[in-house]
Structure 1
Amino acid sequence: MMKTLGYYNGTYDELDRMMVPMNDRVCYFGDGVYDAGPCRNYHIFAIDEHIDRFFNNAALLEIRMPCTKAELKALLQELVQKLDTGDLFVYYQVTRGTGMRDHPFTEGTGNLWVTLKPAAPPQLAEKIRLITVEDTRFYHCNIKTLNLIPSVMASQRAKEKGCQEAVFHRGDRVTECAHSNCHILKDGRLITAPLDNLILPGIARAHLINICEKLGVPVDERPFTVAELMAADEVLVSSSSKFCLSACEVDGKPVGGRAAALLETIQKAVEEEFLTQTE
């Protein structure tokens, strides 16, 4: 059994012993897409939804997949069994291929990477602190590409300020966070940015919307502003690794705390769904 695991085109080992070719296009262009999600008790949560998005993102960039959806699902389920804990974070990416550095596409299928590392389920009662950052990313934010420099820089700025996440905005409009989707609760409604090319169609976002609808919480998929964020009853961020956390501060100013009961109901339902599906 292993503590961590890396996989590359059929070869696997502990992560710190894995090596990949320098001519993989990821090294020069970040030319690929990725997906990821939590695993509990050796059960990968929402695996079909993540794999569907993964293949869709690859198709949007015209990357030829080296396997089918069914083959990838079987591979991931096989790999998690090799770890000495079933509570994991499962990450996978496909790059366009291997070849001498040249901007046009390489021929053939892409290279498949998988990394597995231990990760305990998140504690949803945790309150996090946020900062706002101008969104300087390109206009393909709906594709989960490996080009993450703006998110890396924003995350570093947040860390330096003692915060856990950065909220992107384009002018007055809030888009999403550096590595999560952003939502607000206001007057008993969930407000979340619409699916367009400025935000990622998050799996956790979709589950949050579905849960709110089941609870009878109205959902408005519309743009909202930084001013609305600051005046929200609660500020939420959702991601596959953290599910649904709430913020207590944005840019050093207190936010939220005005719909605690509704927030607790939503978070409890989110957690229960995860626990039920990974028993």
Structure 2
Amino acid sequence: MKYVGYYNGEIGPLEEMKIPMLDRAVYFGDGCYDATTFAHNHIFAVKDHVDRFYNSCRMLEIPFDMPRETLVNELQKCIDANEIDHGMLYWQCSRGTALRAHNFPPADVTPNLMIFTVPCELVPMDSTFKLISMEDTRFLHCNIKTLNLIPSVIAYQRCTEAGCQETVFHRGERVTECAHSNVLMIKDGVLCTPPRDNLILPGITLKHLLELAEANGIPTREAVFTMDELRAADEVIISSSGGLCIAADELDGNPIGGKDPVTLKKLQDAYTAFYEKDTNY
């Protein structure tokens, strides 16, 4: 199988898997998820992603009590069922299966676990992205990786229609993040990111970039920056599980970045080496 599906212990071809109509993920989006890549049949940064997943469950008060080791084993089963040795791994937990009601279901209703793997190639490091920008009208819990992603879906559709690869969100002039990525910038040799507060997802790739920068002598700063500061940045970086450290060269039709390729390349090379080591390349 190249597309593997899993639901509460059952594994099969993704296109043949079924979930109950009364799963609360269906009618409320009542759940959370995480995703990462795998290579050489190894899950990339598994501890970081699993930790964030359990933190999302905690913040949503979902009683997902499967031990971490057991969850990792179930994720690995799906990878091992693949015909290919690299791709994208996605998993989500819903609050359970019950008749539709806004309050939490009875205590004997247990969470549902869904997993799937699909073929996926990392975005090449020498790619460049074109961006558009939109006012960030999402709610105030963007630090939780919930299933409620409609504003991000619409924002990504707008950038796709514009022939671009990401949408930068901003609240007023404050830059937050992108439709499904984090956004960073390099200015005067410093790697800058917006604060990891409730207005952005604490990206695992973002976390790695900050750690790798420090390890390679690149200063970092975690503080608010504006759209004007982003436009004036020496480099603009888009980071996600599928595109680890990708430079952007256009925002709303105007050129950006391209002024500090040395620091950018140092970060990209460091991430490539880190990824290969973590996945036993």
The interval holding the TM-score normalised by the smaller chain is: over 0.9
Q: Does 1:33 align with 2:40?
A: no
Point out where structure 2 has 5 or more consecutive residues left out of the alignment. none
Q: Residue in 1 aligned with 2:261?
A: 260
Q: Residue in 2 aligned with 1:228?
A: 229
Q: Residue in 2 aligned with 1:8?
A: 7
Aligned-residue offset at 1:121: 2.8
Aligned-residue offset at 1:177: 0.5
Q: Does 1:168 align with 2:169?
A: yes
Aligned-residue offset at 1:8: 0.6
Instruction: Give 2:39's aligned amino acid.
Output: R
Contact 1:142–1:198 (8 Å) recurs in 2: yes
Q: Residue in 2 aligned with 1:64?
A: 63
Aligned-residue offset at 1:122: 2.6
Q: How many residues align?
A: 278
**TM-score under structure 2 length normalisation:** 0.97
Distance 1:38 1:10 in 2: 21
Q: Does 1:196 align with 2:188?
A: no
Contact 2:121–2:242 (8 Å) recurs in 1: no
Q: How does 1:146-157 map to 2 (within 5 A)?
A: 146-157=147-158
Instruction: Give 1:218's aligned amino acid.
Output: P
SS in 2 for 1:243: coil
Contact 2:5–2:78 (8 Å) recurs in 1: no
Could you say what the CA RMSD is over the residues aligned between the two structures, in angstroms?
A: 0.8
Q: Residue in 2 aligned with 1:76?
A: 75
Instruction: Give 2:69's aligned amino acid.
Output: A
Q: Residue in 1 aligned with 2:44?
A: 45
Distance 1:25 1:82 in 2: 27
Distance 2:259 2:232 in 1: 10
**TM-score under structure 1 length normalisation:** 0.98
Instruction: Give 2:114's aligned amino acid.
Output: W
SS in 2 for 1:263: helix
Q: Kindly provide the CA deviation profile for residues 26-82 of structure 1, in whole angstroms up to 9, marking residues without a partner as x.
A: 111111000000100001100011001000100100001151111001111122011
Q: How does 1:118-133 map to 2 (within 5 A)?
A: 118-133=119-134
Aligned-residue offset at 1:11: 1.3
Q: Residue in 2 aligned with 1:270?
A: 271
SS in 1 for 2:152: helix
Point out where structure 1 has 5 or more consecutive residues left out of the alignment. none
Q: Kindly provide the CA deviation profile for residues 90-120 of structure 1, in whole angstroms up to 9, marking residues without a partner as x.
A: 0000001111111001133210000101112
Contact 2:78–2:116 (8 Å) recurs in 1: no
Q: Residue in 2 aligned with 1:207?
A: 208
Contact 1:192–1:221 (8 Å) recurs in 2: yes
Contact 2:11–2:78 (8 Å) recurs in 1: no
Distance 2:123 2:178 in 1: 18
Aligned-residue offset at 1:148: 0.2
SS in 2 for 1:85: coil
Contact 1:66–1:109 (8 Å) recurs in 2: no
SS in 2 for 1:12: strand
- Percent identity over the alignment is 48
Q: Residue in 2 aligned with 1:219?
A: 220
Q: Does 1:95 align with 2:94?
A: yes
Distance 1:18 1:115 in 2: 10
Instruction: Give 2:268's aligned amino acid.
Output: Q
Q: Residue in 2 aligned with 1:104?
A: 103
Q: How does 1:229-248 map to 2 (within 5 A)?
A: 229-248=230-249
SS in 1 for 2:245: strand
Distance 1:79 1:240 in 2: 18
SS in 2 for 1:224: coil
Q: Residue in 2 aligned with 1:19?
A: 18
Distance 2:97 2:244 in 1: 35
SS in 1 for 2:214: helix
